[in-house]
């Protein structure tokens, strides 16, 4: 496409869906409601979700993020992040008489339950995921003697099992769908009796966001993914974009991280965001691009999402006792501190 001067028409392809998934929304609202209910400080073990803006904003409101349970004062309230924790973490919290609120994404909890079930049946569990990722650490902790981590297709040749006829694979929820299926294909070559999980472990939101990027990528000179570098699903979006035809791809937390040099010779910019990214950050990127001539924005709709998860039982119980709403919506009381929704 060109304009009247013969120059390529500048445009933006905007992915849909993008941004917050149901598990992230639930986790962020959990911290907001806890601050409202109990007042600051409220402690959160690890980053509630992997997004710099979300964490910084919640810190300003009174959330204190810690790495380990023993950093929380005895008897205080602690929230476990959306990525889930191993059973030993619950034991540590109990020993410190902590009031715990578990904001683990229900889709991660499903994987935990699958791990427990297959371990109880004495299966070797091959967990596809990235070493050191909080979700992988939590899932592995459910049955450490039964779980072996498989960190991508190239790790398959290193795997050994006790009984090749009694093996099942599970996965981290935020992986590249294509890479995970390639890992499973290679595993099945080595272990033909490999069983699949009872349902797909990679979360619906991860898949949908990757699907939108796949549809957009062949038409994009540049893909800008809004998300943090420790966000697995955000990093995967950049990889998927380049693998499926985008000439270049970059990950940014904020619009001011965009290098204008990236836009040289670029006609079509794709924009999307990871599952832990509030929409305000995407709007900032669109405004940045509009100021540089990319004001024509076309949505690329790959799927419709309407899933909502209810808040953790501990929060719902205390909200009900106070006569407060437990609806999954942003609490406008914190609007001045910067919207997270």
- Which residues are annotated binding-site positions? 21, 50, 83, 105, 133, 173, 203, 231-233, 276
- Order of strands across the sheet with 63-66? 63-66, 42-45, 77-80, 99-102
Cβ neighbours for 189, distance < 8 A, ≥ 6 positions apart: none
Left, alpha or beta for 97 (phi > 0: left; psi -120 to 50: alpha)? left
DSSP annotation of 8: B
Cβ neighbours for 244, distance < 8 A, ≥ 6 positions apart: 213, 214, 217, 218
Among 32, 36, 92, 135, the one annotated catalytic: 135
The annotated binding site for isopentenyl diphosphate is made up of: 50, 83, 133, 231-233, 276
Beta strand residue intervals within the chain, DSSP E: 11-16, 42-45, 63-66, 77-80, 99-102, 124-128, 147-150, 167-171, 222-226, 249-252, 268-273, 297-301
The annotated binding site for [4Fe-4S] cluster is made up of: 21, 105, 203
Please, how many CA atoms are within 13 Å of residue 238, restricted to the half-sphere of its CB?
A: 15
The annotated binding site for dimethylallyl diphosphate is made up of: 50, 83, 133, 231-233, 276
Tokens of 9: 């028409």
CA pseudo-torsion sign 290, 292, 293, 299? negative
Question: Is 260 annotated as catalytic?
Answer: no
DSSP annotation of 253: S
Distance, CA of 294 to CA of 287 (rounded, Å): 9
Q: CA nearest 219: which of 188, 244, 184?
A: 244
Tokens of 76: 């205080």
Please give the span between the terminal C-alpha atoms of the chain, in angstroms, as a whole number: 35
Cis peptide leading into residue 141 (ω within 30°) = no
CA distances from 320 to 106, 133, 326 (A): 21, 35, 7
- Which residue numbers are catalytic? 135
């Amino acid at each position: 496409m060109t304009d009247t001067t013969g120059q390529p028409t500048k445009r933006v392809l905007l992915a849909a869906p993008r941004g917050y998934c149901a598990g992230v929304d639930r986790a962020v609202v959990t911290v907001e409601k806890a601050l409202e209910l109990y007042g600051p400080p409220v402690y959160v073990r690890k980053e509630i979700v992997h997004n710099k803006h979300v964490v910084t904003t919640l810190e300003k409101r009174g959330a204190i993020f810690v790495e380990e349970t023993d950093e929380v004062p005895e008897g205080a309230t602690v929230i476990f992040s959306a990525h889930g924790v191993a059973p030993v973490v619950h034991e540590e919290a109990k020993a410190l008489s902590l009031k715990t609120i578990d904001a683990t994404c229900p889709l991660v909890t499903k994987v935990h339950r699958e791990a427990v079930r297959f371990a109880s049946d004495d299966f070797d569990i091959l967990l596809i995921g990235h070493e050191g990722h909080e979700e992988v650490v939590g899932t592995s902790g459910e049955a450490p003697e039964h779980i072996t981590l498989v960190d991508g297709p190239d790790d398959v040749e290193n795997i050994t099992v006790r009984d090749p006829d009694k093996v099942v694979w599970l996965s981290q929820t935020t992986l590249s769908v294509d890479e995970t299926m390639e890992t499973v294909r290679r595993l099945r070559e080595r272990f033909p009796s490999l069983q699949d999980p009872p349902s797909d472990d990679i979360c619906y939101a991860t898949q949908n966001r990757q699907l939108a990027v796949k549809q957009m990528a062949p038409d994009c000179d540049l893909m800008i993914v809004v998300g943090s570098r420790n966000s697995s699903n955000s990093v995967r979006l950049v990889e998927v974009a380049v693998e499926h035809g985008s000439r270049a791809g970059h990950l940014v937390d904020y619009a001011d991280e965009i290098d204008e040099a990236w836009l040289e010779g670029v006609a079509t910019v794709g924009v999307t965001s990871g599952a832990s990214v509030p929409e305000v950050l995407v709007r900032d990127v669109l405004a940045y691009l509009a100021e540089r001539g990319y004001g024509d924005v076309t949505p690329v709709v790959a799927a419709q999402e309407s899933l909502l998860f209810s808040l953790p039982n501990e929060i719902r119980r205390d909200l009900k006792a106070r006569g407060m709403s437990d609806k999954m919506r942003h609490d406008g009381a914190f609007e001045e501190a910067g919207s997270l929704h």
